[in-house]
Structure 1
Amino acid sequence: MTPTTETHAEEDIRHTYGPKLVTSLPGPNARAVVEADDRLISPSYTRSYPMVAKRGRGVRVEDVDGNEFLDFAAGIAVTSTGHCHPEVVTAIQRQAAELIHMSGTDFYYENMITLAERLSKLAPMKGPHRFYYGNSGAEAVECALKIARYHTGRQHIIAFLGAFHGRTMGALSLTASKPQQKRRFSPLVPGVTHVRYPYAYRGCSGGPQEEEAFALGCARYIEDKLFKTTLAPEEVAAIFVEPIQGEGGYVPAPKIFLQELRKICDRHGILLVADEVQSGAGRTGQWWAIQDSGVEPDIVCIAKGIASGMPLSICMTRAEIMDWKPGSHASTFGGNPVAIAAALATMDVLEREGIANAAKRGGEILERLRTWKEKHPVVGDVRGRGLMIGVEFVKDQKTREVAPALRDRIVDLCFERGLLVLGCGETSIRLAPPLIVNEHEAKIALDIFEQSVAIAAKEM
């Protein structure tokens, strides 16, 4: 809808909820920061466009030139309660004025217990439970990797193609997302075997029954082929799986796949590790994405949205699994008092409104997006749950030929129009706004997104 045809009410909504761009992008201040960044900051960072953030509130982010954007990336699915939610800010300020650090490795914090007890009640597996605190998703994965080997006395790990578990050496060894993430870092941690993930759009061309058979085949390959040829099951410590692959393309694992993995693990004494770093903390409309399958994991890796942007990660296990001795693993900053205060406030907001809103708003967004396959020939697949939504772009719907350049162009066009999104996988875009996004913000974001898709398609 063009401005000349908008009603006054629609203009008010767009002014209140939509982007406000006051300079060309990037603006002069942003250009100066980007130039300085090019001189001083590691070139290993992957910046999609020259967004230089200054402040944020809710779903809106303002750059250093005063341009305001709708944020449908949420700091890579981190700002679950929106930018600078007042309850989270108050909790951070109050805790920072009382105690910032003593190190939970050597001393005790009462709130480490408070958060653990609260998470235990929400765990996707039966208790009792134990918890390890770190600072990032990669650290939670490192903890899970080490404790799986420690507890089982086994060496081997199974992970999946397309997986992203982090960039530290152990987590990177499990990652199988992009070659550049591993290039020139070998040798990595040995003992990791990657197998196919049930990415139905790229693995089969039929309907639900064929997709189910494909998913079952991916799981059963482990037992039917891998265990009979190259890997002794009694030497496998754990299977690491993302219930919804994040960097791999926002690809949900079918229920039957996760259920079959659980059976395989049970038959062979293998631990099932759910990496919920990106999919957890309410993003899918439930506390944990794996809950949709009814499968109970042995270990859960948590980070990103659990503390609304403060550095906190958690490795949650069934209590008997975390049986290592003092000194086996620790972190100076893990479970920092300020980060835990932010997590407790975040959980208040998510339980009161965020998780229910993620389910409702995500359903509305998916309903609209699913009409795009007929309207836009470059849209190959739409998938996801709650506010973890992926849109895959192709050159041709019949051949499903990947279109990474088209995807990147759409991301740029969204930025130019005041919408922040990020790519994922080889040819997809993720929509992962804060879980408090409202109906009007979602509508405007999708309007911008759809306009960008149409423009990019015409340019092909």
Structure 2
Amino acid sequence: MKFDDYKEYLSPALAKATDLIVEKGQGCYITTVDGERYLDFVQGIAVNALGHCYPPVVEAIKEQCGKLIDGSFNVMNFPTTLMLAKKLAAVTPGRLNSVFFSNGGAESTDGAIKLARAYTGRTGIIAFKGSFHGRTMGAVSVTGSNSKYRKYCEPMMGGVYFTPYPSRDLCPDRYNEEQRGAFCLKELENTLKYLAAPETVAAVLMEPIQGEGGYVVPAKSFVKGVHDICTKYGILLIFDEIQSGYGRTGKMFAGENFDIIPDIMTIGKAIAGGLPMSAVVSTPEIMEEWHAGMHGTTFGGNPVCAAAGCEVLRQFEALHILEHVREAGAYLQNRLMELKEKYPIIYDVRGLGLMLACEFSYADGTPAGDICRAVQRICLENHMLTLSCGVEGNGIRFAAPLNVTIDTLDEGLRIFEKAVAAVQPVL
């Protein structure tokens, strides 16, 4: 079986990172139809929190499939979905205890925007350059990680304003972390001063740690500053935790690293062990203004996805996942920092927990997307899947399962260093 034999039946709009046809997966590994085994440090773009086909999750899915596959959660209730909502309320911060289930990240972004507008009676949304929130018309309207996503889509959803996020490429040269944060807070205030009257802004939407934008971790003072500005003007704060949440940073949600609780939170990717599921989470008071019928879904809250989601949370507790992520993440970050010292093409290593990325640049600091692509190509040739990030495509993010072993990390690091070493002498 070859991918080229089927290309004519697939829309080219869906970009393909590889031509691999994968038949099965287990843990950190996938196997192609040709029997070739690959180490997978992409994991469905941070979806498989416990790796491919984690046995207890598989069993939970099988059991639920034998009872009921779907009936639409807006028609009837399902025990697994009700249970998952209760379990989520127990792990979400503060009073974010009311859940609206949906199917994917972009859909939850759209829902969060609608909820914020419904609650405030305002229409404006402020988002950040470098952000990625999805590719539906609503989600792409607030996405600023790359112009390619917005190409030929104008006019988009109105009332959206962009302001810089404190990443190196969006701030003045030679600014340190605190200076970048202060600069971006000033720009946010300027947006409210010159472009969007505060009384018309429903929400500020942000990733507490940017994902596709480059795994950018802002200063704690920046996140607190955004929260304070929102409080000052009665603007809701929405955290997009679709990639950064669910244990990826060593906290259940990335926002907890900054001691900030948003008004609305979107979650997805890792929520259901590989099945399509996401959610909008907020306080009961805010959700009460989202009256019956103002939003809906046919497949959201699916009982099979919910059964998987309940088992994922059970395993998080049983395996002490958050503690493991902090330990494994510290190990991986230290090893990557060693490679940074050894290979000058690695400009930066950043992230929290197991949400880590390496950025490649030339000696003058210019982003080196071509080097990154070469490293990825060699990794693939050596049977390891990687994923890029950053607007210049010059970063590689590591999205190993949250239960990854040190031995498996070492295996991936050996392949990664082999690729970096092969590219370094070319400079």
TM over 0.5: yes
- Amino acid aligned to 2:374: R
Per-residue deviation at 1:355?
2.4
SS in 2 for 1:228: helix
> What's the counterpart of residue 283 of structure 1?
248
- Identify the match of residue 85 of structure 1 among 51, 54, 68: 54
> What's the counterpart of residue 325 of structure 1?
291
Q: Greater CA deviation, 313-322 or 35-44?
A: 35-44
Alignment coverage as a number of residue pairs: 423
Is 2:214 aligned against 1:243? no
For residues 35 and 296 of structure 2, what CA distance do their matches in structure 1 show? 42
For residues 273 and 360 of structure 1, what CA distance do their matches in structure 2 show? 29
Per-residue deviation at 1:372?
2.2
> What's the counterpart of residue 371 of structure 1?
338
Deviations 1:25-45 (A, max 9, x none): xxxx4xx1x202321111112
Deviations 1:161-219 (A, max 9, x none): 01000000101100011111111111110110011001146635558xx3212212202
SS in 2 for 1:413: helix
> What's the counterpart of residue 257 of structure 1?
222
For residues 38 and 244 of structure 1, what CA distance do their matches in structure 2 show? 35
- Amino acid aligned to 1:432: A
Per-residue deviation at 1:318?
1.1
For residues 336 and 323 of structure 2, what CA distance do their matches in structure 1 show? 20
> What's the counterpart of residue 142 of structure 1?
110
> What's the counterpart of residue 458 of structure 1?
425
Distance of aligned partners of 1:168 and 1:180 in 2 relative to their CA distance in 1, 3 Å threshold? same
For residues 342 and 171 of structure 2, what CA distance do their matches in structure 1 show? 24
Per-residue deviation at 1:64?
1.1
Deviations 1:411-442 (A, max 9, x none): 11101101111101121010011111101110
- Give runs of aligned pairs for residues 426-445 of structure 1, distance below 5 A: 426=392, 427-445=394-412
Is 2:355 aligned against 1:388? yes
For residues 336 and 139 of structure 2, what CA distance do their matches in structure 1 show? 33
Q: 5+ unaligned residues in a row in structure 2: which ranges?
A: none
For residues 202 and 188 of structure 1, what CA distance do their matches in structure 2 show? 23
- Give runs of aligned pairs for residues 41-440 of structure 1, distance below 5 A: 41-124=10-93, 126-127=94-95, 129-200=97-168, 203=171, 206=174, 210-223=176-189, 225-322=190-287, 323-353=289-319, 354-396=321-363, 399-425=364-390, 426=392, 427-440=394-407
SS in 2 for 1:429: strand
- Amino acid aligned to 1:356: E
Structure 1 residue ranges (4+ consecutive) displaced by more than 6 angstroms after TM superposition? none
- Amino acid aligned to 1:85: Y
Q: Is the 8 A contact 2:242 2:269 kept in 1?
A: yes
SS in 1 for 2:178: helix
- Amino acid aligned to 1:133: F
Q: Is the 8 A contact 1:201 1:381 kept in 2?
A: no
Per-residue deviation at 1:394?
0.6
Per-residue deviation at 1:358?
1.5
SS in 1 for 2:38: strand
SS in 1 for 2:6: helix
For residues 192 and 386 of structure 2, what CA distance do their matches in structure 1 show? 41
SS in 2 for 1:244: coil
SS in 2 for 1:435: coil
Per-residue deviation at 1:373?
2.5
For residues 92 and 355 of structure 1, what CA distance do their matches in structure 2 show? 24
Could you tell me the TM-score, scaled by structure 2's length?
A: 0.96
Distance of aligned partners of 1:377 and 1:181 in 2 relative to their CA distance in 1, 3 Å threshold? same
Identity of aligned residues (%): 39
Deviations 1:69-113 (A, max 9, x none): 111111100000110000000000000000111101122223222
For residues 151 and 341 of structure 1, what CA distance do their matches in structure 2 show? 31
Q: Is the 8 A contact 1:135 1:313 kept in 2?
A: yes
Per-residue deviation at 1:128?
6.0
Q: Is the 8 A contact 1:49 1:412 kept in 2?
A: no
Per-residue deviation at 1:230?
1.7
SS in 2 for 1:410: helix
Q: 5+ unaligned residues in a row in structure 1: which ranges?
A: 1-28
For residues 272 and 282 of structure 2, what CA distance do their matches in structure 1 show? 19
For residues 225 and 24 of structure 2, what CA distance do their matches in structure 1 show? 45
Per-residue deviation at 1:252?
1.4
Could you tell me the TM-score, scaled by structure 1's length?
A: 0.90
Q: Is the 8 A contact 2:387 2:397 kept in 1?
A: yes
SS in 2 for 1:148: helix
For residues 55 and 135 of structure 2, what CA distance do their matches in structure 1 show? 32
Deviations 1:134-167 (A, max 9, x none): 0001111110000101110001000000100000
Distance of aligned partners of 1:227 and 1:203 in 2 relative to their CA distance in 1, 3 Å threshold? closer
Q: Greater CA deviation, 211-220 or 254-263?
A: 211-220
Q: Greater CA deviation, 74-83 or 34-43?
A: 34-43
Distance of aligned partners of 1:361 and 1:157 in 2 relative to their CA distance in 1, 3 Å threshold? same
Q: Is the 8 A contact 1:82 1:434 kept in 2?
A: yes
Q: Is the 8 A contact 2:96 2:281 kept in 1?
A: no
Q: Is the 8 A contact 1:58 1:436 kept in 2?
A: no
Larger Rg: 1
- Amino acid aligned to 1:444: E
SS in 2 for 1:370: helix
